[in-house]
Structure formats: structure tokens, C-alpha cells
A = this chain, B = another copy of it.
């Protein structure tokens, strides 16, 4: 699903500026979706060109004009169509995991430090999601569902990292460099 659809969807929850959309994303769906201004503004401009959103100009804080976008009936229809034809893909791209994957090529302290930093990031994300309920009572069902899913995954990750950090570190320390642990011949897995 592209960013245009996501913006349209976010706008189905109420009008917003490009800036607002980014903030909303970060607050409520940063655990499975991210977008930068460089994607959002052009997306909004195109949606406006296509008539799926309307734009109203307002003087914002400081006298500079701000563009408040709202979804149009045509936009709602389009959103429904796009959601109906979207495939529910799911992909994770984790350099953190990749680095852990090659951990025996790195100094154990660095690996441990990375785990520490990652734990910090995850805890921040988790707190953000927990705060979300405290503030917005009676969240829309979709938002509550994805929030719960995020919390479950984040907690599981924290638990795993905390439970295995020390053991991983000592395993790495006791086996300084990547010795020849076979991984090529039987190609790890199938009967072949």
C-alpha cells in the first residue's frame, strides 16, 4: 500500500495538515508504518489534484498559512476501493537483526551495547503506545487492535532480549572469532 492511500486513510479520521499527519503516524502507527515529509507533502498534493482531498488554507501559529486537508466523498470511495484491493503484506527490514546475525564478527561489547540501545528504543515505543490509551478513551476499534498487537510484539521482544542478552554475550566472548562453524555443506536444514 502506498503512502497516498495511508494519508487518505489517516484523513478519514479527521482533517489534518501534512505536519499533523506525520505526528499522528508517529504517535499511533510508528510500529508498523513510517513516512517522512518528503513523501507526505507530494502525496497530499497529488490527492488534491485527483479530487480525493480538499485543501483549506488557514493562518497558523505565527501568521504563516497552513494547509488543512480533508477527505472528500470521492476520496472516501477511492479509499474503500484501495483498501478492498490491497494485499495484506508484512515485511520487516531489520539492520539490528542483521547485525546480531553476524555478531561473531563484532566485538562482544559492541553487540551488547547495540542490544542495550535497541531495548531503549523499544521501551520508548512501548510507552508511547501505552500512553495512547490513557489519553484517547475509547479508541476506534482498528486503532485499539493495532495498538494491542504492537504492545504484544514489543513486550515479547523486550522479554527475549532481556532473557538472552547476558547468555549471548558470554557465548560470544568464549568464542572470539567466527571459527569454521559449518553452514555450507548440508546447507542447514533439509534432507538433501
Contact = CB atoms under 8 A, between A and B. Distances in A.
Interface of A: 1, 6, 9, 12-16, 20, 23-24, 27-29, 31-34, 79-80, 83-84, 86-106, 110, 114, 117-118, 121, 131-132, 135-136, 138-143, 145-146, 148-149, 152-153, 155-157, 159-161, 164, 168, 171-172, 175, 178, 181-190
Contacts of A118: 88, 90
A22 to B, nearest CB: 12
A153 B160 CA distance: 9
A105 B80 contact: yes
Given A92-B32, A140-B181, A164 B148 contact: yes
In the A-B complex, the 5 residue pairs with the smallest Cβ-Cβ separation, listed nearest first, are: A14-B184, A156-B156, A88-B96, A32-B97, A103-B142
A142 B101 contact: yes
Q: For A33, A117, A168, which residue has the most chain B Cβ atoms within 10 angstroms? A: A33
